[in-house]
Amino acid sequence: MTNNQMSPEERCRALFASCGVPVTSKVGSYEEFMLRDEEGVGLRTQIWLPEEPSPAPCIVVRSCYAGQEAMMIVRAEEYCRRGFGFVLQWCRGTNGSEGVWEPNVNERRDGLRLMQFLQEDDRFGALGYWGDSYLALTGWAMADAVPDKVKTMFLGVYGCDRHTSAYKDGLFRQDILTSWAMQNAGHPVNADYMTSAAYRPQINVDEAMWGGELAWYRSWISSPDRSDPYWKQGFWNQLYNIPGKVKFPVFIREGWYDHHLGSALATFDLLSEEAKKHSVLQIGPWNHGYQPVIAHQDITLLEDDSVRTPIQWFDRILRRNELPEGEVQLYQIGEDRWLNAPWPLPETKTCTYYLSGTSLSAEPAHGETVRTYTYDPENPVLSHGAESLLKSWDEIGSLKQPEPGWRKDVLTWMSDPLKNDLQVCGPIEVHLCVSSDAEDTSFTAKLMEVFEDGTAVNMRGTITTLAYRNNADSRLTYTPGEKTEITLRMWPLAWTLKKGSRLRLDVSSSDFPQYAVHSNYPGVWSTQEHTKKAEESVYASPAAPSRIILPLL
């Protein structure tokens, strides 16, 4: 039977069969009960234990996604066959647990209640916590206060800097959080997603289309400033500060095209020195589900590692009592290989390409050139090939891009063929001298490799606004018609541009639904009722050198 013919559960068992940790036991016992808090609310808790050893090292998971139960049972049984216990608890108000489902806010107290129960039960030895996405959030939410049986956590595709996960320079990451809100509203939402994402004013979409007010969603979409009290107090502020208090090793797994990458990188940077000394940051060519999403590139040596690395990590720390050396593992796109890198990435040699006419050149433009386009919020550029998507699953990753000139509101610059390979490693920056006839607007940048056969694939993309230009934490003013330099900073990337390829830059003003559509009016995006067209200009001159800065390995 081939991988494509296997069910997800069968494929998971096959991956365990080759995970490198031998079968040493059988599933000894299973029990299910309601673990009740001080108010009597019961959370559905499932426990699998191996026949031996006793006490058993144990993997703990807390989930809100009922659809994951069948796969969790497979994982629990396979861990038991290798001498680990497995504990699965369902979040408040989900999949049989009592109480009211409200995302995020109950996870710390509910998780610590479970961990204290396991701490006091002599059937359990050393504890390790495992989870991806929201299941990683349930781990991070308590990571600074767990009892001493907890020796490590393996947490993927999530980060503790929630503002970074929600916003880019004042624009909401709609494809992630608007779609997530619709799917996790606590009641069925049957509204069309794209119509919902385009609804104005967005602050009213819940009552207008979703069947009732979601206060927590309204808080998200009305707090674009990093300095807003919403991010500086309460749960999100607490979560942001947790990594600095963690003392044990953490394995942080991410994807170059996962929407939580920026937040996860900030989380790794925030780890205490004690934890970081033995922690691992790993970034592969994956989306949020660890699927490789690299078009027109060789990934022959890339294997499905969703089972092997986690179980070997837990085996090493929980059973053999070893502390790993901290490291950063990066997958180099274009070379199909992993490399170990220092972190933070050191200041390295850079390569600069300047915008001139319709070209990218190693030298600044000799005279001033101006290119203009009309941006109409009612006709946005649709996201295709992106790093911050969730609902629009098929558009995630490095994908084949349209030919230059495919839209009048998308400007393109292209380099000559490269004379040598360029090993890019780090955050890419695009500096543009721009103006607009609106009081506020947005600009996007998408960087691509164009192979010798003419195929173009996106490497990185990003967006900024005039109100939040140059990493401003709160809104700035802008005078229409004024020239200003903006910096579009992209998430880090490890990518080798091949000799003979060309570098291509596309600039526009929308990328929907990856980001909310800018109305071209100033103010909080979610309260805007109307839109208007804007005339956008990009300048290139010796005095105002619009340019791309590539960090090289």
**Are 308 and 282 in contact, with CB atoms under 8 Å apart?**
no
Based on the fold, state whether residues 146 and 182 are members of the same structural domain.
Answer: no
Using CA atoms, how far residue 507 sits from 16, 447, 539, in Å, is: 45, 9, 12
Based on the fold, state whether residues 197 and 108 are members of the same structural domain.
Answer: no
Q: Give the Cα separation of 507 and 461 in Å (integer).
A: 10
User: Residue 2: what pLDDT?
Assistant: 53
**Which segments of 197-318 are extended strands (E)?**
250-255, 280-284
Question: Which one, of 433, 472, 371, lies nearest residue 168 by Cα?
Answer: 472
User: Residue 367: what pLDDT?
Assistant: 86
Q: Which residues pair with 87 in a beta bridge?
A: 47, 60
In a domain, 205, yes or no: yes
Instruction: Summarize the confidence of residues 511-538 as an average pLDDT.
Output: 98
Based on the fold, state whether residues 288 and 206 are members of the same structural domain.
Answer: no
pTM: predicted TM-score of the whole model, two decimal places? 0.95
In a domain, 396, yes or no: yes
For all residues of the chain together, what is the average pLDDT? 96
Residue 213 binned pLDDT confidence (cut-offs 50, 70, 90): very high
Using CA atoms, how far residue 8 sits from 72, 86, 384, in Å, is: 11, 19, 27
Based on the fold, state whether residues 189 and 86 are members of the same structural domain.
Answer: no
Based on the fold, state whether residues 357 and 426 are members of the same structural domain.
Answer: yes
**Are 44 and 97 in contact, with CB atoms under 8 Å apart?**
yes
Q: Which of 340, 359, 374 is the last residue of a domain?
A: 340
Based on the fold, state whether residues 334 and 402 are members of the same structural domain.
Answer: no
Query: What share of the chain in percent tops pLDDT 70?
Result: 99
Using CA atoms, how far residue 110 sits from 35, 107, 140, 204, 246, in Å, is: 10, 5, 13, 31, 19
**Are 72 and 45 in contact, with CB atoms under 8 Å apart?**
no
User: Residue 474: what pLDDT?
Assistant: 83
**Which segments of 341-483 are extended strands (E)?**
350-356, 359-361, 369-375, 411-415, 422-436, 442-450, 456-465
How is residue 433 written in tokens? 């001298």
How is residue 2 written in tokens? 């081939």
The CATH number of the domain holding residue 535 is: 2.60.120.260
Based on the fold, state whether residues 316 and 418 are members of the same structural domain.
Answer: no
User: Residue 398: what pLDDT?
Assistant: 98
User: Residue 130: what pLDDT?
Assistant: 98
Q: Which residue has the higher pLDDT, 137 or 471?
A: 137
Based on the fold, state whether residues 281 and 393 are members of the same structural domain.
Answer: no
DSSP for 120-153, written as a single string: H-TTEEEEEEEEETHHHHHHHTTTTT--TTEEEE
How is residue 439 written in tokens? 């009081």
Strands 359-361 and 411-415: parallel
In a domain, 442, yes or no: yes
Give the range of the structural domain holding residue 94, as residue numbers without chain letter.
Answer: 3-163+228-340
In a domain, 399, yes or no: yes
Q: Which residue has the higher pLDDT, 123 or 6?
A: 123
Based on the fold, state whether residues 150 and 185 are members of the same structural domain.
Answer: no
Q: Which of 6-10, 148-152, 345-349 shows the lowest mean pLDDT across its residues? A: 345-349
Residue 345 binned pLDDT confidence (cut-offs 50, 70, 90): confident
In a domain, 80, yes or no: yes
Based on the fold, state whether residues 154 and 69 are members of the same structural domain.
Answer: yes
Q: What is the pLDDT of residues 227-276, one digit of tens each?
A: 999 999 999 999 999 999 999 999 999 999 999 999 999 999 999 999 99
Q: Which of 221, 253, 287 is the last residue of a domain?
A: 221
Per-residue burial over 469-490, b if 16 or more Cβ lie within 10 Å, else e, is beebeebeebeeeeebebbbbb
User: Residue 3: what pLDDT?
Assistant: 59
Contacting residues for 131 by C-beta, under 8 A, at least 6 apart: 61, 62, 63, 137, 138, 139, 154, 155, 156
Instruction: Summarize the confidence of residues 167-175 as an average pLDDT.
Output: 96
Domain count of the fold of the chain: 3
Based on the fold, state whether residues 103 and 154 are members of the same structural domain.
Answer: yes
Q: Give the Cα separation of 349 and 342 in Å (integer).
A: 15
The CATH number of the domain holding residue 304 is: 3.40.50.1820
Q: Is the pLDDT of residue 401 over 90?
A: yes
Based on the fold, state whether residues 414 and 502 are members of the same structural domain.
Answer: yes
Q: Is the pLDDT of residue 347 over 80?
A: no
In a domain, 345, yes or no: no
For residue 43, how many other CB atoms are within 10 A of its CB?
25
Instruction: Summarize the confidence of residues 428-434 as an average pLDDT.
Output: 97
Q: Is the pLDDT of residue 99 over 80?
A: yes
**Are 490 and 427 in contact, with CB atoms under 8 Å apart?**
yes
Q: Which of 340, 374, 404 is the last residue of a domain?
A: 340
Helix (H) or strand (E) holding 486: strand 484-497
Q: What is the pLDDT of residues 466-515, one digit of tens each?
A: 999 998 888 999 999 999 999 999 999 999 999 999 999 999 999 999 99
Q: Is the pLDDT of residue 193 over 70?
A: yes
